[in-house]
Amino acid sequence: MKQRKRKNTVKPVDLMAVYLVLRETFGHRGWWPGDSPLEIAVGAILTQNTSWKNVEKAIANLKAERALSIRALRDLPVDELARIIRPSGYFNQKALKLKAFVEFLDRDYKGSLTAAFRDDTAALREKLLAVKGIGKETADSILLYAGGHRSFVIDLYTRRILTRHGWAPEDVEYDEMKAMFEDAIPPEVELYNDYHAQLVAVGNRFCRKTPSCEGCPLQPMLP
């Protein structure tokens, strides 16, 4: 891999030790709310740059309108879909993204999410990334939480926690941070799942844009 000039120095970190601290604090998270793989995948798209509470409203609307199925998502006019998911914000864009996701499933997997998840992880990730509106975080969330694939998810909180502790450079790239985790911890879906959930738990409480480090279980590890 090509070496890049770094903006700051990086401290070594034992990411498994970090997980154990979080796990000790928050307990097992058993994460990603959702009753089905489709609901989780839809949630992954709707939560882009949006608080989860708003996503919950949008998903509740989808359920109330019996629109949380591949068929319904396929058949609904895009403006109608946008109306239903309005509380999640960016509703026009996200309606198009949901449409693109279903079109992808129809085209490559005969409209079957189950069939998609039977595919090889790397191959499916590549295909998901080619869908308009699905970037790396969304693809990995769908793979891991909806499909049970071994693909570590990097999100805003993960980035903040690692860069603020000096464990990763400020300009770290997504795939680079993903590899940091995948190289450092045992390759287990359940661990990938719970670790990211732990990072979101600590991020939600302590690592917002304006951090409140008081009481954070990772505070003793700050430089």
Helix (H, G, I), strand (E, B) or coil at 151: coil
For residues 78 and 37, what is the distance between their CA atoms, to the nearest angstrom? 22
For residues 170 and 180, what is the distance between their CA atoms, to the nearest angstrom? 14
Between 71 and 132, CB nearer to DNA: 132
Distance in Å, CB of 212 to DNA, minimum: 12
Check if the beta carbon of residue 202 is closer than 8 Å to that of residue 27: no
Q: At what angle do helices 52-64 and 37-46 cross, to 10 degrees?
A: 130
Distance in Å, CB of 179 to DNA, minimum: 16
Q: How far is CA 104 from CA 62, 84, 151, in A?
A: 20, 21, 20
Distance in Å, CB of 34 to DNA, minimum: 8
Distance in Å, CB of 86 to DNA, minimum: 5
Q: Is 219 in the site for DNA (CB under 7 A)?
A: no
Check if the beta carbon of residue 134 is closer than 8 Å to that of residue 45: yes
Q: Is 9 in the site for DNA (CB under 7 A)?
A: no
Check if the beta carbon of residue 72 is closer than 8 Å to that of residue 55: no
Whose tokens are 């879909």? That residue is 81
Instruction: Map residues 142-171 to x or -, x wherever contact with DNA holds by CB under 7 A.
Output: ---x---------xxx-------------x
| Interface with DNA in residues 100-129 (CB under 7 A) | none
CA angle 178, 190, 63 (to 5 degrees): 95
Instruction: Map residues 25-54 to x or -, x wherever contact with DNA holds by CB under 7 A.
Output: -------xx---------xx--xxxxxxxx
Check if the beta carbon of residue 68 is closer than 8 Å to that of residue 38: yes
Backbone φ and ψ of 222, nearest 5°: -65, 150
First to last CA, the chain: 28
| Interface with DNA in residues 68-97 (CB under 7 A) | 86-87, 89-94
Q: Is 135 in the site for DNA (CB under 7 A)?
A: yes
Distance in Å, CB of 135 to DNA, minimum: 2
Distance in Å, CB of 188 to DNA, minimum: 19
Instruction: Map residues 174-193 to x or -, x wherever contact with DNA holds by CB under 7 A.
Output: --------------------
According to CB under 7 A, which one of 62, 76, 81, 134 is a site residue for DNA?
134
Between 135 and 187, CB nearer to DNA: 135
Check if the beta carbon of residue 157 is closer than 8 Å to that of residue 199: yes
Q: Can you give the binding site for DNA, defined by CB under 7 A?
A: 32-33, 43-44, 47-54, 57, 86-87, 89-94, 131-139, 141, 145, 155-157, 171, 200, 203-204, 208-210
